Structures are given as structure tokens and as C-alpha cells.
């Protein structure tokens, strides 16, 4: 059965299982959570995308924890987005931030290299 994700909660993680294919996974939809984090800091669109993807990944991993705890994802590079930190504390707290070189992000965008992998 596929859960209906078209209505209801704005932020949701739903586990699923397809027995015939021996497949399990999770579906995530972030609305207000990602929007609030990104809007609060006023990130440019390419940086916002990196942070939103990192937040979704960390929330997916954190939703699988079987205990109240904390999961922190941190990256540090010499790319345009220098650092990304996402801190998830179960059951329902998340913080995220990014540090970036604005000129390098602008240059990467102008050169068409603004996908998340190129920015890290």
C-alpha cells in the first residue's frame, strides 16, 4: 500500500515496504521545516538546495533511530559551500546551517556548476 502524501501534515516521513520486491524505504516531504530553516538565514537558491537536501537526508536517517537521541551530519570542504551542519534530535527537533563563499557561489552559478555536488 502506498500512503497518501497529498494532504495532511506538511512535514512527514513515512516508511514503506514492498514484500514482493524485498524492498523497504522511507518517503519524506518537508514543507514548513525546510522552509523555515532556509528563510531564516536568507540563503541564495543554490545554497538553500544543498541545505534542504542535507536536511532531508539527515531527517530520513534520524527517523530510523529506535531511541531518543541525536544525529548530526556535518560536511566541511574547500568548495563554494564551505560547511553544512544538520542536527536532528529525536523525536522532533532539527537545526541546520550552511557557511558559504558568496562570490564563489555566484561564480559557480554563472558557470552552470550550481548543483549540490559541485558546490561542496
For the residues 86-98, what does the mean pLDDT come to? 88
| Residue 105, C-alpha cell as written in the block | 557561489
* Domain range list for the chain: 32-119
- Say which CATH topology domain 32-119 has: Hsp33 domain (3.55.30)
| Residue 108, C-alpha cell as written in the block | 559557480
Distances (CA, A) of 10 to 6, 22, 29: 9, 29, 7
Question: pLDDT at position 46, please?
Answer: 96
pLDDT of residue 4 exceeding 70, the answer is no
Which of residues 32 and 73 earns the better pLDDT score?
73
Report pLDDT digits (tens) over 9-45: 678 888 999 999 999 999 898 888 888 888 889 999 9
pLDDT of residue 83 exceeding 90, the answer is yes
pLDDT band at 92 (very low <50, low <70, confident <90, very high): confident
Number of Cβ atoms within 10 Å of the Cβ of 43:
20
- The pTM assigned to this predicted structure is 0.84
Name the CA dihedral angle for 49, 11, 14, 95, rounded to a multiple of 10 degrees: 60
Distances (CA, A) of 66 to 2, 70, 73, 76, 105: 23, 11, 18, 28, 38
Amino acid at each position: 500500500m502506498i500512503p497518501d502524501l497529498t494532504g495532511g501534515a506538511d512535514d512527514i516521513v513515512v516508511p514503506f515496504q514492498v514484500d514482493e520486491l524485498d524492498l523497504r524505504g522511507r518517503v519524506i516531504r518537508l514543507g514548513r521545516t525546510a522552509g523555515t530553516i532556509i528563510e531564516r538565514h536568507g540563503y541564495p537558491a543554490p545554497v538553500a538546495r544543498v541545505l534542504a537536501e542535507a536536511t532531508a537526508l539527515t531527517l530520513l536517517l534520524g527517523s530510523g533511530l529506535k531511541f531518543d537521541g541525536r544525529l548530526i551530519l556535518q560536511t566541511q570542504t574547500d568548495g563554494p559551500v564551505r560547511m553544512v551542519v544538520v542536527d536532528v534530535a529525536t523525536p522532533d527537533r532539527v537545526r541546520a546551517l550552511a557557511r558559504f563563499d558568496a562570490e564563489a557561489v555566484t561564480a559557480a552559478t554563472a558557470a552552470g556548476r550550481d548543483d549540490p555536488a559541485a558546490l561542496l
